[in-house]
Amino acid sequence: MGISVKHISKSYKKVNALKGISFEVKPGELFGLIGPDGAGKTTLFRILTTLLFADQGTASVSGYDVVKDYKSIRNSVGYMPGRFSLYQDLTVAENLEFFATIFGTTVKENYDLIKDIYIQIEPFKNRRAGKLSGGMKQKLALSCALIHKPKVLFLDEPTTGVDPVSRKEFWDMLKRLQQTGITILVSTPYMDEAALCDRIALIQDGKILQIDTPQGIVKHYPKKIFNVQADNMYELINLLKDYAHQYSVYPFGEFVHYSDKRADFNTADLQSYLTEKGLKDIAIETTKATIEDTFMELAK
C-alpha cells in the first residue's frame, strides 16, 4: 500500500535517466532517495506523481497503478517539487485556499494536519508568497501539499537552498507528519539528512546502489576507516593520495577519512610515513564509516 517500483526505466533523447529501478516503500515509512544532482531522482518523482510516463516497468502508489489509476493517485498524493512553485503574486492564505479548492476540500476541514506547520507562517498570511523567506516558502509549499490529507507525500529536494536551522525544523515536521501515518518519499543530496530517514536508497546515474536503513547502509563499507589529522591539510591529502597502500582518501570536515588496502594495516606505519614527509601534529584514530563514505565507495 506504500510505494512499489518495479524495473522502471526512462530515457530522454540522449540521456538514460533511469535504468531499471526497483524498490518498495512500506506504508507509513519515511524513505529517502539519496543521490547527487542528475542521478534521476526528479525523473522518478515525476513518474510516480503521474507527470511522466516510464518507458518500461510498472509502479504503484498507495495501491494505484501510476498509468491506469492516475486519477486516483492525483487525489491521494501530495507533491512538493524541488523548485518553489506556488503563485508568488497570491498571498499565503490565498495559495493555501486555492490548492484546497482544486482538491475539492477546504482549509478548515484538514486544518489539524497542517496546523503545526501553518501556525508558523500564519502571522504572514496576507503577505504575497513571493515576498516570503526561503524557509517560510518551504513551509507554505508543504502546507499546500498536505491540505488535501494525502496518503503519500513526495518531496523533491525540499531543503535545497534552505538555511540549516530551517532544514532541521523541516525534518522535525516530517517526523511528526510520519506519525500521522503518511508515507513519505523524500529526495535529498545531503548525506546528513539521510540519517533521519527510516530507510534510504543510494541512487546514482539512474541506478540504485544500495537500499538499507541508515545504520545498516554503513555496514556495506568494506574497510576500516580512520580519521587522520595534521597541521597542513592540503599536504596531508596529497601525501595520503600518494601513499602506496591507500584505498580511499576523502576530506571530511577537519579530518581526512582514510582507509587502507591491507588487512593488517597498522596506524604506526602511516604515522611514520607522514612524519618522514615533514607533517606535524599527526593524529590517527579509528572512526565509523558514514553514509557519505559508503556512498563514495559504492559510487566508485
Partner 1 sequence: MKTIRYIIQKEFKQIFRNKGMLPIIFVLPLLQLVILSNAATFEIKNIKFSYIDNDNTSFSRALIDKFEASTYFNVVSNFPSEKIASSAMLKGDVDVILEIPNNFERDLVKDKKTNLSVIINAIDGATAGVENVYINQIVQGFNKNALVELMQPSVPIAIGITNKPKSISSITSFWYNETLNYKTFMVPGILVLLVTMITLFLAGMNIVREKEIGTLEQINVTPIKKHQFIIGKLFPFWIIGFGLLTIGLIISKVIFDTPIVGSLGLIYFYTAFYLLVILGMGLFISNFTDTQQQAMFIAWFFVVIFILMSGLFTPIESMPMWAQYLTEFNPIKYFVEVMRMVMLKGADFTDILPQLLKTLGYAIIMNGLAVWSYKKTS
Contacting residues toward partner 1, per CB under 8 A: 46, 49-53, 70-71, 74-75, 77, 79, 81, 83-90, 94, 97-99, 101-104, 128, 144
Cβ 37 to partner 1 shortest distance, Å: 17
Closer CB to partner 1, 1 or 51, in the complex: 51
183-188 vs 30-34, strand pairing mode: parallel
Are the beta carbons of 164 and 130 closer than 8 angstroms?
no
Cβ 212 to partner 1 shortest distance, Å: 29
Tell me the C-alpha distance between 106 and 97, whole Å: 7
How far from 114 is each of 39, 143, 196, CA to CA, in Å?
Answer: 31, 6, 21
Cβ 83 to partner 1 shortest distance, Å: 5
Closer CB to partner 1, 110 or 259, in the complex: 110
Closer CB to partner 1, 86 or 132, in the complex: 86
Cβ 48 to partner 1 shortest distance, Å: 10
Closer CB to partner 1, 83 or 176, in the complex: 83
Closer CB to partner 1, 101 or 213, in the complex: 101
Please give, one letter per residue, the 3-state secondary structure of the chain: CCEEEEEEEEECCCCEEEEEEEEEECCCCEEEEECCCCCCHHHHHHHHCCCCCCCEEEEEECCEECCCCHHHHHHHEEEECCCCCCCCCCEHHHHHHHHHHHCCCCCCCCHHHHHHHHHHHHHHCCCEHHHCCHHHHHHHHHHHHHCCCCCEEEEECCCCCCCHHHHHHHHHHHHHHHHCCCEEEEEECCHHHHCCCCEEEEEECCEEEEEECHHHHHHHCCCCEEEEECCCHHHHHHHHHHCCCEEEEEEECCEEEEEECCCCCCHHHHHHHHHHCCCCCCEEEEECCCHHHHHHHHCC
Neighbours of 87 (CB within 10 A): 14
Closer CB to partner 1, 25 or 152, in the complex: 152
Cβ 81 to partner 1 shortest distance, Å: 6
Closer CB to partner 1, 102 or 119, in the complex: 102
Cβ 254 to partner 1 shortest distance, Å: 39
Cβ 87 to partner 1 shortest distance, Å: 6
Cβ 121 to partner 1 shortest distance, Å: 18
Closer CB to partner 1, 39 or 66, in the complex: 66
